[in-house]
Amino acid sequence: MTTSTITGHGETLRHYLQVSDLDRDTLLNLIDRAIKLKNNQKAGRPYRPAIGRILGLMFEKPSTRTRISFEAAMYHLGGNVVFMPSRDLQLKRGEPLKDTARVLSRYLDCLVVRTYGQEIVDELARWSSIPVINGLTDEHHPCQILSDIMTVVEYKGRNLEDLKIAWIGDGNNMAHSWIQAAARMGFSLYLACPRGFEPDAAILKKARDEAGDRIHVSNNPEEAVDLADVVNTDVWASMGQEGEADSRREAFRAFQLNAGLLSRAKADAIVLHCLPAHRDEEITEEVLEGPQSAAWDQAENKMHIHRSILEWAMELQED
Ligand code: CP
Ligand code: NVA
């Protein structure tokens, strides 16, 4: 397993700040482990390797799934959770991130952070002596991508190299995590974004240097969805972009995932949406609630992958 090398302590901690922190085997192991933990849980076998451990959740943006699934994951593992809305911390009155990170490291065993800039989680990780996990920034959503690919594995099997995965919509944090995952995990990724809303050029270049010609970006949703095995979309205005919602609605109109667009994919294609969804904007009610939607399994899988990530990050004993 590889570990992130960001640390101010000369030691190597298991931070997970973006998908490219981890190598292919580690990513696949996290998914395989989550599937095993899910099966064990459904069979009623308790697993409590985190008794006596405390997970901190420092959240600056709203969350339903990530917050509650991390909390549930930690409780299922036998541990405890402290939820910290950033607005209630001295951070909001100017206390430096490096001081916050060092103090929290004395109380907690692991920290999940949801915030705006990626540099915030990077700085927290640099000064923490506990693992730091990115629970979404403006640039990346690396935990989400693992539950999404876990869902793909459950529906399509483990031969990811054989799959065409389409991303329709914004070149946002989710798109960046998909791009990094494609570089590491071998599937073909076709992104279709409106002009001016393509993914970050530096993230794309780095992934393409690794993945060769498996990552495609166009402004053509039909081409991206043609014969795809998996079709993904996400909101047109992410958290923090609420003021752009009207102009984005205009720019993204031709990128709605509706029955017509989906009919171009393979007949057994699945639809993913990390949620929350805006019905009849980026996805129609018909598609989100239709037989090809895997969005609800995808949401459930967040809890299982979070158990796997926490177990890995805190180096808890495996059964
Ligand atoms: N998918 C996801 O991260 O959802 P929340 O914003 O509700 O956490
Ligand atoms: N791109 C979305 C994902 C939400 C889980 C956002 O950042 O708001």
d(CA 73, CA 57): 12
Relative to the CA of 238, which ligand 2 atom is closest? 8
Q: Are both 48 and 74 inside the same structural domain?
A: yes
Q: Strand 54-59 relative to strand 110-114: parallel, antiparallel, unpaired?
A: parallel
Question: Measured from the CB, is residue 65 less than 6 Å from ligand 1?
Answer: yes
**Residues with Cβ within 8 Å of residue 175, at least 6 apart in sequence:** 167, 169, 191, 193, 199, 234
Residue holding tokens 């935990």? 143
168 within some domain: yes
10 within some domain: no
**Residues with Cβ within 8 Å of residue 128, at least 6 apart in sequence:** 7, 13, 15, 101, 102, 104, 105, 111
d(CA 113, CA 105): 13
131: left (phi over 0), alpha (psi -120 to 50) or beta: beta
Q: Are both 137 and 170 inside the same structural domain?
A: no
Cα R_g (the chain), whole angstroms: 19
Q: What is the pLDDT of residue 122?
A: 98
1 within some domain: no
Question: Measured from the CB, is residue 239 less than 6 Å from ligand 1?
Answer: no
State the CATH number of the domain containing residue 192. 3.40.50.1370
Relative to the CA of 136, which ligand 1 atom is closest? 3
Centre of ligand 2 to C-alpha 147, Å, is 15
CB 225 within 8 A of CB 231: yes
Q: Are both 116 and 237 inside the same structural domain?
A: no
9 within some domain: no
Q: Are both 247 and 295 inside the same structural domain?
A: yes
Q: What is the pLDDT of residue 1?
A: 37
Q: Are both 201 and 110 inside the same structural domain?
A: no
Ligand nearest to the CA of 114: 1
Tens digit of pLDDT at every position of the chain (319 positions): 334 444 444 458 999 999 999 999 999 999 999 999 999 999 999 999 999 999 999 999 999 999 999 999 999 999 999 999 999 999 999 999 999 999 999 999 999 999 999 999 999 999 999 999 999 999 999 999 999 999 999 999 999 999 999 999 999 999 999 999 999 999 999 999 999 999 999 999 999 999 989 999 999 999 999 999 999 999 999 999 999 999 999 999 999 999 999 999 999 999 999 999 999 999 999 999 999 999 999 999 999 999 999 999 999 976 6
Q: Are both 135 and 171 inside the same structural domain?
A: no
Range of 205's domain?
Answer: 144-299
Q: Are both 79 and 182 inside the same structural domain?
A: no
What is the pTM for the complete model shown? 0.96
Q: Are both 100 and 45 inside the same structural domain?
A: yes
Relative to the CA of 241, which ligand 2 atom is closest? 8
5 within some domain: no
Q: Are both 78 and 153 inside the same structural domain?
A: no
Centre of ligand 2 to C-alpha 51, Å, is 32
Q: How far from 290 is each of 145, 262, 269, 295, 296, CA to CA, in Å?
A: 22, 11, 12, 10, 11
Q: What is the pLDDT of residue 12?
A: 87
Q: What is the pLDDT of residue 5?
A: 43
Q: What is the pLDDT of residue 49?
A: 98
Q: Are both 106 and 24 inside the same structural domain?
A: yes
HSE-CB at 162 with a 13 A cutoff on CA atoms is 6
Total structural domains within the chain = 2
Q: What is the pLDDT of residue 248?
A: 98
- Determine the straight-line distance between the first and last CA of the chain, rounded to whole angstroms: 18
Q: Are both 306 and 285 inside the same structural domain?
A: no
